[in-house]
Amino acid sequence: MTKTNTGRFFEDFVVGETIHHATPRTVTAGDVALYTALYGSRFAVQSADAFARGVGYPHAPVDDLLVFHIVFGKTVPDISLNAVANLGYAGCRFLHAVYPGDTLSAISEVIGVKENSNGRTGVVYVRTQGFKQDGTEVLDYIRWVMVRKRDEASPAPEAVVPEVPAALAADTLGDAAPVISGTYWDDRLSGSPHRFADYLPGERIDHVDGMTVEEAEHQIATRLYQNTAKVHFNQHTEGQGRFGRRLIYGGHVISLARALSFNGLANAWHVAAINGGRHVAPLFAGETVYAWSEVIDRAELPGRDDIGALRLRTIATKDRACADFPHVDAGNRYDPSVILDLDYWALIPR
Amino acid sequence: MTKTNTGRFFEDFVVGETIHHATPRTVTAGDVALYTALYGSRFAVQSADAFARGVGYPHAPVDDLLVFHIVFGKTVPDISLNAVANLGYAGCRFLHAVYPGDTLSAISEVIGVKENSNGRTGVVYVRTQGFKQDGTEVLDYIRWVMVRKRDEASPAPEAVVPEVPAALAADTLGDAAPVISGTYWDDRLSGSPHRFADYLPGERIDHVDGMTVEEAEHQIATRLYQNTAKVHFNQHTEGQGRFGRRLIYGGHVISLARALSFNGLANAWHVAAINGGRHVAPLFAGETVYAWSEVIDRAELPGRDDIGALRLRTIATKDRACADFPHVDAGNRYDPSVILDLDYWALIPR
Amino acid sequence: MTKTNTGRFFEDFVVGETIHHATPRTVTAGDVALYTALYGSRFAVQSADAFARGVGYPHAPVDDLLVFHIVFGKTVPDISLNAVANLGYAGCRFLHAVYPGDTLSAISEVIGVKENSNGRTGVVYVRTQGFKQDGTEVLDYIRWVMVRKRDEASPAPEAVVPEVPAALAADTLGDAAPVISGTYWDDRLSGSPHRFADYLPGERIDHVDGMTVEEAEHQIATRLYQNTAKVHFNQHTEGQGRFGRRLIYGGHVISLARALSFNGLANAWHVAAINGGRHVAPLFAGETVYAWSEVIDRAELPGRDDIGALRLRTIATKDRACADFPHVDAGNRYDPSVILDLDYWALIPR
């Protein structure tokens, strides 16, 4: 019997099963520095202890997406090592601020399985939770992936397809944000005078800058997250594969788009929830990522007069500037440049 | 009205105006590790808490140039996003040691403007100061850049051209250096037996080694400094530009040259001041940086018998070793290999 | 007289001499994050303070190989700057856990010299010890390198060839491991149910995954270790050299193989000793590293019923998967894909 983990196949997932993922991970100032170096993020709360303390945190929290990537990375060896495709995620909430020194671990529950009609693959739905060392839940999301069957002859399990929320309600947001002092919040230091009241649904913002990605960069990032998906790292096999190249981790694109979005959304400091996201097309090294955002909703949070929530659609493209907001055509087909369509809630001071 | 920052144009700079730059930044052990990994710096004081404590610091201070790059990076979105050229800097003093945990922020004052005769651009002079969270000033320098006008028809402002010091006097140096214990200072651990008295004006030192720069490296460095200058990151646009390639941040060259200079200047642990510097030619990924230095002056510091100052000219070249000290020809034209001509004061124990 | 260090030549090594290497180095959380980002290591003890504390450490120790690389890096300017070849190492023991905040320094003693019959080179044997700031020895190893003579006419020294241990005895292992709580040790979190008793001599494990190496990655790693060997960094000279390319630091391969070995050896958390290793062939950027291991011995440790030792041979290859365990042919010639043959002791809970 081999001691090597070759990953679960579709048949190995049983609805109701709980999977404790390996390798808890202490997040440190080293991870934060690397995150800055990989994306160039400039949100003041995450960048500066002094600013974070002034507005209400004990000190600078770790970037929300770094927390997401670390928790997500833990799930890869158990959930998606034999995945054919990442189909979607939903209901992703950031529930508690994470600080350097916190140790993160992850647990997933299998909440649905549905074999595909081809009999070769199936869809697996999991709910993943990320925790701190003291049991505090910091992250919660649903993800569904298409996974190969080990044996095409094995019988199909009873189909269970969970309800997946289209979007999170505003009253579920804000748990990870302390009461924010809008008085201390210095718009000169945060980089923008625009606050909650200045953004209106329908508004579109071009984030202007472009960022070219190198192989070393996305590999360093994805290993930092201890994400073991083979397609990101192995040119020897990927060179023979569908694209002839290593595929960049989709989360790397999300973090690039979020960092670029600083230019236009500088005060939207905290990702409170991700309603859903679609990796429309793959990104490869040497390509340049641009982004733009649309405000698709705006919400007050119950009992919070310090902050509000903006629901944003952030579109990332490759090798195409976003001054004219490339998205979908009349037939709802994505512009060929689009690589990411992300729907999320960000918090912003009043 | 757009929420996107497209940067100031020449007309937007008014003499006397103070600009508070965005995104304060806490420097951490993570930044220090990345700085070491990007340049291979080996100066003992910055490398080892134990050594730093022994010679008089509370623990290892952050490399002076890392402080410079972070402060400089903050100014880019406000000062030089529409710059055509970085013309020079002067009067740069390091005023207080910075330690991991300190939060840096930056303020610039516009101290001069002068429209060029072409009516399309002008020169802007700023004095930038870097501060810690408690208000301690850590860095002070003057910089001048050529900036595009938004509208060529706009009238020229009254020209104001500030006096810029050619070099800093020795009695302005040393504020950031505690009293150094030359007794503890172990030349075996610091890497060289040569101290203040061993260096004489006119002496030239080949730093021998060469370092090839990769795209991922300079991008990681420049993002670490939250420097947003577009030319360093966007192959999609730069590929169509003047050089067909991304331009490496000039400060990256300075840090490479400084790290290489360890071989020959191992005890010159602290950059006290930069008198001026010229980026003679651009550096691109794939090219190899070499460096040599000349001692152009030597000074005692008033009231300090523990340390002295060496005024150094460090020349960096690309793709050319420096055993024969390439610099300028009889007509004062730079050797084609030269990319940097830096004039600075470094401190060294007696 | 030059102030530049051009390295020692064969004639400069005298048996019995002690060399204090330059630049002590404080290891930090920044180094740990970079190590994770460069190799993707996932051993739970080094990854998570909470896990490390639970099993018996005060908090997460630094990866053993990171300690090795830093100590090794210090010796390069004094020992191997003019080395023609790294011939071997032996008797390498990890003697005490290293934690972020510890400052490492290194001392070597010349324990052997033997001129080669060609009269142009000689073999130098050194014993290197790594220490913490308080004098605790953390690492001890013997290394031998072939070094050029400065002057071929200089007389050969009396040959001294030290005894080099073929392998370390089990009773010399374990000093760096606290008493490990096997009860707390959660196999779900560590990533494998397989402990000491599950591994048998002769067992072979394919570590499955492949990792492609980029120039930026190995340069960042090797500079992080302050290793100054020229061949790793200078494309301008190496492009004219034997391989036409920069050579990747052999230690980078060891760390990649060790990180890959997690898949199959997840509970073998601590490298207690390296018996020897051979860099069979060079690795270059763009190539993909795979690895497999054989259990060549298994030993109980005197007085330790918490843990045991596995003696492992880990073979790394390039551009060739290891499902069929490539090694040597009948004539004892290495498979052309093999780049590393490493013999070490790893500790694993009972």
Q: Closest by alpha carbon to B207, among B258, B275, B254?
A: B258
What separation in angstroms does the CA of A127 have from each of A130, A137, A171, A177? 10, 13, 21, 23
User: How far apart are the CA of A189 and the nearest CA of chain B, in angstroms?
Assistant: 4
Per CB-CB distance under 8 Å, the chain A contacts of B26 are: 47-50, 60
Q: Is 80 exceeded by the pLDDT of residue C31? A: yes
Instruction: Identify the residue whose tokens are 């929320």.
Output: A165
Q: Which residue of C has its CA nearest to B286?
A: C235
Per CB-CB distance under 8 Å, the chain A contacts of B99 are: none
Cβ contact C273:C345 at 8 Å: yes
Q: Closest by alpha carbon to A43, among A262, A307, A264?
A: A262
Q: Which residues contact A332 (CB under 8 A, 6 or more apart)?
A: none
Yes or no, beta carbons of C47 and A29 under 8 Å apart: no
- Chains near B with 3+ CB pairs less than 8 A apart are A, C
The per-residue pLDDT for range C16-28, each reduced to its tens digit, is: 999 999 999 999 9
Q: Closest by alpha carbon to A299, among A350, A226, A250, A339?
A: A350
| B324 close to C (CB below 8 A) | no
Yes or no, beta carbons of C29 and A24 under 8 Å apart: no
For residue B191, give the amino acid letter.
G
Yes or no, beta carbons of A3 and C194 under 8 Å apart: yes
Cβ contact C120:C152 at 8 Å: yes
- Cβ under 8 Å to A: C residues 246-285: 263-266
The pair of structure tokens assigned to C82 is: 């003019």
Yes or no, beta carbons of B233 and A210 under 8 Å apart: yes
Cβ contact C177:C61 at 8 Å: no
Angle between helices B29-39 and A29-39 (to 10 degrees): 60
Yes or no, beta carbons of C230 and B215 under 8 Å apart: no
Yes or no, beta carbons of B20 and A209 under 8 Å apart: no
pLDDT score for A85? 85
C214: nearest CB among A5, A25, A219: A219
Distance, CA of C246 to CA of C223 (rounded, Å): 14
Per CB-CB distance under 8 Å, the chain C contacts of A133 are: 49-50
Q: How many residues does chain A have?
A: 350
Per CB-CB distance under 8 Å, the chain A contacts of B245 are: none
DSSP per-residue letters across C222-269 = HHHTT---GGGT-HHHHTTSSSSSPPPPHHHHHHHHHHHTHHHHTT--
pLDDT score for C1? 66
The pair of structure tokens assigned to C70 is: 């830093």
The pair of structure tokens assigned to B67 is: 């402080």
Q: Is 70 exceeded by the pLDDT of residue C170? A: yes
User: Which residues sit opposite C349 in a β-bridge?
Assistant: C307
pLDDT score for B1? 66
Yes or no, beta carbons of B212 and C214 under 8 Å apart: no
| B86 close to C (CB below 8 A) | no
Ranges of H-type helices in chain C: 29-39, 44-47, 49-55, 64-79, 187-190, 215-224, 235-238, 250-260, 262-265
Percent of chain C topping pLDDT 70: 100
Yes or no, beta carbons of A51 and B246 under 8 Å apart: no
For residue A116, how many other CB atoms are within 10 A of its CB? Answer: 15
What separation in angstroms does the CA of B201 have from each of B170, B295, C5? 15, 5, 20
Cβ contact A296:A327 at 8 Å: no
Per CB-CB distance under 8 Å, the chain C contacts of A233 are: 40, 209-212
| A234 close to C (CB below 8 A) | yes
Which residues in chain B show pLDDT less than 50? Answer: none
pLDDT score for A124? 98
| A216 close to C (CB below 8 A) | yes
Q: Which residues contact A297 (CB under 8 A, 6 or more apart)?
A: A201, A310, A311
Domains of chain B by start residue, with CATH: 12-151+166-349 (3.10.129.10)
DSSP code of B160?
A: B
- Cβ under 8 Å to C: B residues 19-48: 28-34, 36-40, 42-44, 47-48
Q: Which residue of C has its CA nearest to A81?
A: C209
pLDDT score for C128? 98
Bridge-based pairing of strands C204-206 and C288-301 is antiparallel
| 3-state secondary structure at position A222 | helix
For residue A17, how many other CB atoms are within 10 A of its CB? Answer: 12
Q: Which residues contact A51 (CB under 8 A, 6 or more apart)?
A: A44, A45, A60, A186, A189, A190, B24, B103
Bridge-based pairing of strands A137-148 and A25-26 is unpaired
| B294 close to C (CB below 8 A) | no
Cβ contact B223:A36 at 8 Å: yes
| A191 close to C (CB below 8 A) | no
Q: Closest by alpha carbon to A176, among A130, A111, A133?
A: A130
| B75 close to A (CB below 8 A) | no
What separation in angstroms does the CA of C243 have from each of C240, C246, C283, C285, C339? 8, 8, 10, 12, 15
| A193 close to B (CB below 8 A) | no
Cα Rg, chain C, nearest whole Å? 20
Yes or no, beta carbons of A286 and B235 under 8 Å apart: yes
Yes or no, beta carbons of B24 and A50 under 8 Å apart: yes
Q: Closest by alpha carbon to A108, among A6, A25, A16?
A: A16
Yes or no, beta carbons of B191 and C5 under 8 Å apart: yes
Distance, CA of A128 to CA of A74 (rounded, Å): 10
| B221 close to C (CB below 8 A) | no
ipTM for the complex? 0.97
| C198 close to A (CB below 8 A) | yes
Yes or no, beta carbons of C217 and A221 under 8 Å apart: no
| C214 close to B (CB below 8 A) | yes
Distance, CA of A197 to CA of A174 (rounded, Å): 18
The per-residue pLDDT for range C94-120, each reduced to its tens digit, is: 999 999 999 999 999 999 999 999 999
Number of H helices, E strands in chain C: 9, 12
| First-residue to last-residue Cα distance in chain B | 60
Q: Is 90 exceeded by the pLDDT of residue C182? A: no
- Chains near A with 3+ CB pairs less than 8 A apart are B, C
| A212 close to B (CB below 8 A) | yes
pLDDT score for A280? 95
Q: Which residue of B has its CA nearest to A186?
A: B22
Distance, CA of B30 to CA of A107 (rounded, Å): 28
**Residues B221, B227, B228, B230: is their CA dihedral positive or negative?**
negative
Residue-by-residue pLDDT tens, chain A, 350 positions? 689 988 999 999 999 999 999 999 999 999 999 999 999 999 999 999 999 999 999 999 999 999 999 999 999 999 999 888 889 899 999 999 999 999 999 999 999 999 999 999 999 999 999 999 999 999 999 999 999 999 999 999 999 999 999 999 999 999 999 999 989 999 999 999 999 999 999 999 999 999 999 999 999 999 999 999 999 999 999 999 999 999 999 999 999 999 999 999 999 999 999 999 999 999 999 999 999 999 999 999 999 999 999 999 999 999 999 999 999 999 999 999 999 999 999 999 99
Q: How many CB pairs under 8 A join B and C?
A: 146
Q: Which residues contact C266 (CB under 8 A, 6 or more apart)?
A: A22, C42, C43, C44, C190, C191, C192, C194
Give the model's confidence band at C6: pLDDT under 50 very low, under 70 low, under 90 confident, else very high: confident
Residue C123 has phi, psi (to 5 degrees) of -100, 130
Q: Which residues contact B159 (CB under 8 A, 6 or more apart)?
A: B113, B114, B115
Q: Closest by alpha carbon to B50, among B148, B142, B236, B184?
A: B184
| C205 close to A (CB below 8 A) | yes
Residue C84, class by beta-carbon neighbours within 10 Å (0-12 exposed, 13-18 middle, 19+ buried)? middle
Q: Which residues contact B205 (CB under 8 A, 6 or more apart)?
A: B261, B264, B265, B292, B293, B294, B295, C2, C3, C4
Distance, CA of B194 to CA of B208 (rounded, Å): 17
Yes or no, beta carbons of A28 and B30 under 8 Å apart: yes
User: How far apart are the CA of C211 and the nearest CA of chain A, in angstroms?
Assistant: 5
Percent helix, percent strand, percent coil in chain B, to nearest 5: 25, 30, 45
Cβ contact B230:A209 at 8 Å: yes
Give the model's confidence band at C65: pLDDT under 50 very low, under 70 low, under 90 confident, else very high: very high
Distance, CA of B87 to CA of B243 (rounded, Å): 19
DSSP code of B54?
A: H
Q: Closest by alpha carbon to A310, among A207, A206, A205?
A: A205
Yes or no, beta carbons of C28 and B31 under 8 Å apart: no
C38: nearest CB among A22, A214, A220: A220
Yes or no, beta carbons of B188 and C3 under 8 Å apart: no
The pair of structure tokens assigned to B50 is: 């134990």
Per CB-CB distance under 8 Å, the chain C contacts of A22 are: 42, 44, 188-192, 266
B20: nearest CB among A37, A188, A198: A188
| B191 close to C (CB below 8 A) | yes
